[in-house]
Structure 1
Amino acid sequence: MFNNGKDAKREQAELSGSSTQIMKGTTVEGNIETFGNVRIEGKIIGNIKSKSKIALGDSSFVEGNIISQNAEIAGEVTGTVEVTDILTLKSTANIKGDIITGKLIVEAGAVWNGTIKMGNAPKESKEHILNGRTEEQKEAVK
């Protein structure tokens, strides 16, 4: 009865160690939100939010916003990418949208069209990317 706080923390730690995989040939329409890691090789039409790491393979396509602690992108993203720690753009990455990240690693050949804000991005940057977005996209960014 008094262990609710400890149980909740243990459950959150277990969830952050879990993994979700969307493989090549799979299309998902809708938002994905998880505490654990996400690996995508397929197509996602919707926002992806993870408290851990999101990895997009070279065959991946995401039409929506990405929010995570860490991310590695080798595929195509149309939307805002917001990573609190380290974002790695592989040589096959193609980003069409704004990037907000703590640290950025870019391999030769990666392409992006949009603005990049690094470090502790001020709140105005979030307001900037909210303009012109749907309510659902705005919620994913917040």
Structure 2
Amino acid sequence: MWTSEKKSSQSMAEPSTTSFFAPGFRMNGDIDSNNDVRVEGIIQGNLTTTKRIIIGKTGQVIGNVKGSQVSIMGEVVGEVIATDITVIGETGVVHGTVLTNKIKIESGAEIEACIKKYKETPETEAIPSKTKKLDLHKRKEQVLQQPELAKISMEN
């Protein structure tokens, strides 16, 4: 009996390994952590950890989410990357892309996303995402330039 009391007193003294963002918490900016992360508030920015991410029922992330295990009971608008498993609960909402090794989707979940197998390649890093955005800008510029060229050719 003394040993169990000792164990419980040790666990009470140990620091928490979960970063918790409570309901009502609102943040604009990126979070990079080495702890488990639980979000019940609103984060507008990217959330990255080497461990587990839980988006609770009141949680919302508008940005990219990356962790080893990602559980979504709230809402994510962006790219979800899970090196191990993604679980989308019955109250979960995902709009974007999901890259994962394994996925579990509960009945009632709302998903409007492209789901792909996660592979450890440079494509899954943030830098190519910026490249894609630049390519989109180039495409817009080309579209804008084409009508001008057509107009010029009609005048000649």
Residue 132 of structure 1 pairs with residue 133 of structure 2 = yes
1:111 Cα deviation (Å)?
A: 1.4
1:120 Cα deviation (Å)?
A: 3.1
Aligned AA for 1:43? I
The equivalent of 1:7 in structure 2 is none
Give percent identity, aligned residues only: 30
SS at match of 1:132: helix
Q: Cα RMSD between the aligned structures?
A: 2.3
Of structures 1 and 2, the larger Rg is shown by 2
SS at match of 1:81: strand
Q: Quick one: higher RCO (CA 8 Å, sep 6+), 1 or 2? A: 1
1:28 Cα deviation (Å)?
A: 1.0
TM-score normalised according to structure 1 size: 0.75
The equivalent of 1:49 in structure 2 is 48
TM-score normalised according to structure 2 size: 0.68
Matched ranges for 1:106-125 at <5 A: 106-120=105-119
- Spell out, residue by residue over 1:43-98, the C-alpha distance to the aligned partner (whole angstroms, 9 max, x if none): 00110001000001011111000010111100111100000001100011111100
Counting matched residue pairs gives 118
CA contact (8 A) 2:81 2:118 kept: no
Greater per-residue helix proportion:
2
Residue 30 of structure 1 pairs with residue 29 of structure 2 = yes
Matched ranges for 1:1-142 at <5 A: 18-120=17-119, 130=129, 131-132=132-133
Long gaps (5+) in structure 2: 1-13, 135-156
CA contact (8 A) 1:104 1:118 kept: no
1:132 Cα deviation (Å)?
A: 2.6
Long gaps (5+) in structure 1: 1-13, 134-142
CA contact (8 A) 1:100 1:121 kept: no
* Aligned counterparts of 2:125 and 2:99: Cα–Cα separation in 1: 9
